Structure 1
Amino acid sequence: MASLRDGFQSRLGFVLAAAGAAVGLGNIWGFPTQAANHGGGAFLLVYFIVVFLLALPALYTELYIGHQAQSNPVKALSLAWSEKQPKVGALAGYIGLFGAIVMLSFYSIVAGWMLSHALEPVTTFLGLSDVSRFLTEDSMARNFVFTPLMVLLTASIIFKGVKSGIEKWSRRLMPMLLVLLIALIAYIATLPGAKEGFETYLKPDFSKVTDPDLIIAAMGQAFFSLSLGVGCMMIYGSYLKPNENLPKLTLSVAMLDTAVAFLAGLLIIPAIFVAQQHGVQVFQDGKLIGEGRLIFAVLPELFNTMGEVGVFVALCFFVLMSIASVTSTISSTEIPVSFLVENHGVTRRAATWAVSATVLLASIIIILNFDWLFGLVITVFTQYQLPLMGLFYFITVGWVWRRGNQLALECHGNIYYFALYVKYVCPVLMTAVFVNVALR
């Protein structure tokens, strides 16, 4: 049966798909916002350190579990815990499935906003002012139009499987994302105020490097930006061929994801200072106004000050954001779909419809109770489930899983030292992240 299982056909396809799963709104939206609010270059420096010390081992651990098991997270974690408590492993897998559904429920809403804002420059160019207003104003009606569209767009890719769907579209979308990102950076760099933004971003204030809030923010951002903790990387790792060089591929994914986050900072932070140069209020009491509203408030105001060229810049920017959204939604959707296909013998098409319907229903519940439920879901998911699941993966590989766990069995060379690092250091670091986030 293993030979019949769908999978990635090339290393490049895997790297682009896995990086696409990681490169989401957290990189292009969350990372620059965190950097702007935590000392710019100081945050960037600490972020790079944390990626190396914590996020990279966490990424390898999650990919490793899936790659060794060659199955979905429920099966993989059950196998890893088979000698101890297989039900504990299975339960963790189900928590990951639930987390993927929860993440998709709010991510599909936000992705719908990106899609509607991507269409707005077109309607503005055509002179359809009423439609433009509908596309950019917060409303339940807009959510009920664009959330289902994003769910259906994701489903249309998942229908086709790993090789013909996920890998094929990742190879198309990720290069497009990089081209748009670099082109926008080049344009923003020519505008008044951009120089100050680049200096703020690239010159660290070393007095802020030891700020506990900055360190915790960098650790959390590094972990979350790699899409760790719900099983995205585990399922993608399971689709790799058994003889692949996992350490090399892990490094490639982490480097590409970190590069996109770095480039996003090169775009967003200078753009913030350009907006400020144009009279847009950006900071208040040293903090970025609105934080989460940066994408839909500050930057659109900037685009509006650019005249006709601003319409084109806005189009490119929100197409970029929409691509980042889709590459993340397809990876999260694949987790429950693979579970239904492999554990319950459901066809991929039926599984995709079932998962999409469930996600849409959950999204509708959030839309109808938006004021209190949206923020609660994001907080519980990002601040509690992800770090706890990451800690669980470290414990699984370092302390529980023995049979078939080559990382734990190897007793020589660099693998031995890395195994010790995963076993002793990573759980302590991950616990520190969770405790500090929980106490804030």
Structure 2
Amino acid sequence: MREHFASRFGFIMAAAGAAVGLGNIWGFPTQAASNGGGAFLVTYLVLVFALAFPMLVMEVAIGRHGQANPVDAVRKLGKSPLQQSLAGLVGYAGMLVPSLVLSFYAIVAGWLMAFLAASVTRMLGWPAATEWLEAFGLGRNIVWTLVFYLLTILVVQAGVRRGIERWSARLMPALFVLFVLLFGYILTQDGAMEGLRHYLVPDFSKVMDGQLLISAMGQAFFSLTIGGCSMLMYGSYLSRQESIPTTAFQVTLIDTGVAFLAGLVILPAMFVAMNHGVTIYADDGSLLSSDTLVFQVLPALFDSMGPVGMLMALVFFVLMAIAALTSSISMLEVPVSYATERFGTSRPRMTWLLGSALALFSVVICLNFGTLFGFVIRLSTQNIQPLVGLGFCVLGGWMWGRAKLFDELVKGTPALSDSLFWRIWPWYVRLVCPLLVVLVIGASW
């Protein structure tokens, strides 16, 4: 019998954890800082509900209908062998996304784990260990990448309820608490209010800037991991008594809320850092070292705060590690679910086997960092994932059929037929969402 989440809260925490990752906590604030602060925030909030939420409903619906791994779930949408084969190709492509993403994501998460350990060794007065942990060295990168894989494997091999749901329900509330504590402290520092104004007060003249719109659209698309199959996978574990539109809306709110909170913490922190003499913006107004800012600017800021800064560094990197882990367990769950269902092997054995294989691939990336790291990121997030998201729109909106789609959504939502949502959403996800996704693809290629 297929395992299901024990409660709606468990599903929401797990799905929100899958969506909330380093992209939300660092990617979103970095995008906001690079694209006009408040103007980017307003545009993002509009687009996350105009693009990401409707597609999330479709992905979760496909998963719950299929009650299987991504490949078998989408094959059930086809009415003929040809349609099933085409749908299966989309499923295989979708299953490839989380595996590729995890292979580089674990490396970045390993850096975070190293900085977390460094914040502890600094408190203990171990300078040699701290220097090794903070230096970008091959040995450090490999060791902490493997540590992060070990944590991910231990959660996933325990199963849906005892592993994924149990730890997501604990880690996600902890994430919010740590964010609020960090936000409260940052606001007491000189320069924080200027950063807050930059983030919350929009310059509406920038809202229609083409680059800002594309950046906000891409961030909205990727923030909920649309096309990454994690949401489809978790949807297959969702009870048929739960309302998919309501649950998807709650996941969207939490994911967007975490991104918003991240901006509340990090943009003021950047201005506090500038007040301490840390250079963040170039003379032309562009953000310096946006990809590695989390490992440069914030540690410099924490160092300037004295003993309190060491504690803040510990809190911040614990927060980042939680966000990374809740995402990574959803990524590993996708291939593990496929393999256990197809080959009939035990979950723990397949989790260790696939986790070890992906860890080995990550080590290869570390050994060929300059060549492979950026290539794998582009291949998975810019090339394959948007195409899979587009495929889900086409399969669910056109191949599945309106009547069967209604049959799935009405389970847990008895009043669906009379709602405004049902009058708009089926056509919207068929026509408008694919056009928006094509714009995202065009901008990223």
TM-score, length basis structure 2: 0.95
Alpha-carbon distance between aligned partners in 1 of 2:88 and 2:11, rounded to the nearest angstrom: 26
Cα shift readout 1:135-181 (whole Å, capped 9, x = no counterpart)? 11101000121111111100101111000000000011001111001
Question: After alignment, is 44-53 or 422-431 more displaced?
Answer: 422-431
| Amino acid across the alignment from 2:260 | F
Match of 2:341 in 1: 342
Match of 2:38 in 1: 41
2:438 matches 1:431:
yes
Alpha-carbon distance between aligned partners in 2 of 1:436 and 1:411, rounded to the nearest angstrom: 37
| Amino acid across the alignment from 1:382 | T
Match of 1:150 in 2: 148
- 5 Å matches for 1:177-196? 177-196=175-194
2:91 matches 1:93:
yes
Once the two structures are TM-superposed, the CA of residue 249 in structure 1 deviates from its matched residue by: 0.3
Match of 1:416 in 2: 423
8 Å CA contact 1:102–1:362 kept in 2: the answer is no
| Amino acid across the alignment from 2:122 | T
| Amino acid across the alignment from 1:69 | G
Q: CA RMSD in A?
A: 1.4
Q: How many equivalent residue pairs?
A: 435
Once the two structures are TM-superposed, the CA of residue 350 in structure 1 deviates from its matched residue by: 1.3
Match of 1:175 in 2: 173
Match of 2:57 in 1: 60
Once the two structures are TM-superposed, the CA of residue 199 in structure 1 deviates from its matched residue by: 0.2
Cα shift readout 1:298-344 (whole Å, capped 9, x = no counterpart)? 11111110011110000000000000000000000000000011122
- 5 Å matches for 1:23-422? 23-83=20-80, 84-284=82-282, 285-402=284-401, 404-406=404-406, 413-414=419-420, 415-422=422-429
Q: What secondary structure is seen at the aligned counterpart in 1 of 2:226?
A: coil
Alpha-carbon distance between aligned partners in 1 of 2:195 and 2:167, rounded to the nearest angstrom: 34
1:11 to 8, 18, 22: 8
| Amino acid across the alignment from 1:265 | G
8 Å CA contact 1:228–1:390 kept in 2: the answer is yes
Alpha-carbon distance between aligned partners in 1 of 2:439 and 2:143, rounded to the nearest angstrom: 41
| Amino acid across the alignment from 2:226 | L
Alpha-carbon distance between aligned partners in 2 of 1:97 and 1:104, rounded to the nearest angstrom: 12
Q: What secondary structure is seen at the aligned counterpart in 1 of 2:24?
A: helix
Once the two structures are TM-superposed, the CA of residue 405 in structure 1 deviates from its matched residue by: 2.5
Cα shift readout 1:86-121 (whole Å, capped 9, x = no counterpart)? 111111111122221111100111111111111111
Q: What secondary structure is seen at the aligned counterpart in 2 of 1:19?
A: helix
Cα gap change, 1:20/1:411 in structure 2, threshold over 3 Å: closer, same or farther?
Answer: closer
Alpha-carbon distance between aligned partners in 2 of 1:147 and 1:277, rounded to the nearest angstrom: 34
| Amino acid across the alignment from 2:34 | N
The runs of 5 or more residues in structure 2 that have no matched partner are 410-415
Once the two structures are TM-superposed, the CA of residue 411 in structure 1 deviates from its matched residue by: 7.5
Alpha-carbon distance between aligned partners in 1 of 2:408 and 2:433, rounded to the nearest angstrom: 14
Once the two structures are TM-superposed, the CA of residue 372 in structure 1 deviates from its matched residue by: 2.1
8 Å CA contact 1:23–1:257 kept in 2: the answer is yes
The runs of 5 or more residues in structure 1 that have no matched partner are none
Alpha-carbon distance between aligned partners in 2 of 1:181 and 1:321, rounded to the nearest angstrom: 10
Alpha-carbon distance between aligned partners in 2 of 1:432 and 1:423, rounded to the nearest angstrom: 15
8 Å CA contact 1:50–1:219 kept in 2: the answer is yes
| Amino acid across the alignment from 2:424 | Y
Once the two structures are TM-superposed, the CA of residue 243 in structure 1 deviates from its matched residue by: 2.1
Question: After alignment, is 401-410 or 106-115 more displaced?
Answer: 401-410
Once the two structures are TM-superposed, the CA of residue 382 in structure 1 deviates from its matched residue by: 1.6
| Amino acid across the alignment from 1:378 | I
Cα gap change, 1:194/1:383 in structure 2, threshold over 3 Å: closer, same or farther?
Answer: same
Alpha-carbon distance between aligned partners in 2 of 1:421 and 1:96, rounded to the nearest angstrom: 22
Alpha-carbon distance between aligned partners in 1 of 2:13 and 2:179, rounded to the nearest angstrom: 16
Q: What secondary structure is seen at the aligned counterpart in 2 of 1:424?
A: helix
Cα shift readout 1:193-238 (whole Å, capped 9, x = no counterpart)? 0010000000000110000100000010011111121200000000
Alpha-carbon distance between aligned partners in 2 of 1:94 and 1:388, rounded to the nearest angstrom: 12
Alpha-carbon distance between aligned partners in 2 of 1:100 and 1:177, rounded to the nearest angstrom: 22
Once the two structures are TM-superposed, the CA of residue 126 in structure 1 deviates from its matched residue by: 1.1
Q: Percent identity?
A: 48
Alpha-carbon distance between aligned partners in 2 of 1:396 and 1:167, rounded to the nearest angstrom: 29
Cα gap change, 1:330/1:408 in structure 2, threshold over 3 Å: closer, same or farther?
Answer: closer
Cα shift readout 1:230-262 (whole Å, capped 9, x = no counterpart)? 200000000011221111100000000000000
Alpha-carbon distance between aligned partners in 1 of 2:407 and 2:428, rounded to the nearest angstrom: 11
8 Å CA contact 2:65–2:408 kept in 1: the answer is no
Once the two structures are TM-superposed, the CA of residue 437 in structure 1 deviates from its matched residue by: 2.4
Question: After alignment, is 341-350 or 149-158 more displaced?
Answer: 341-350
8 Å CA contact 1:407–1:416 kept in 2: the answer is no
| Amino acid across the alignment from 1:59 | L
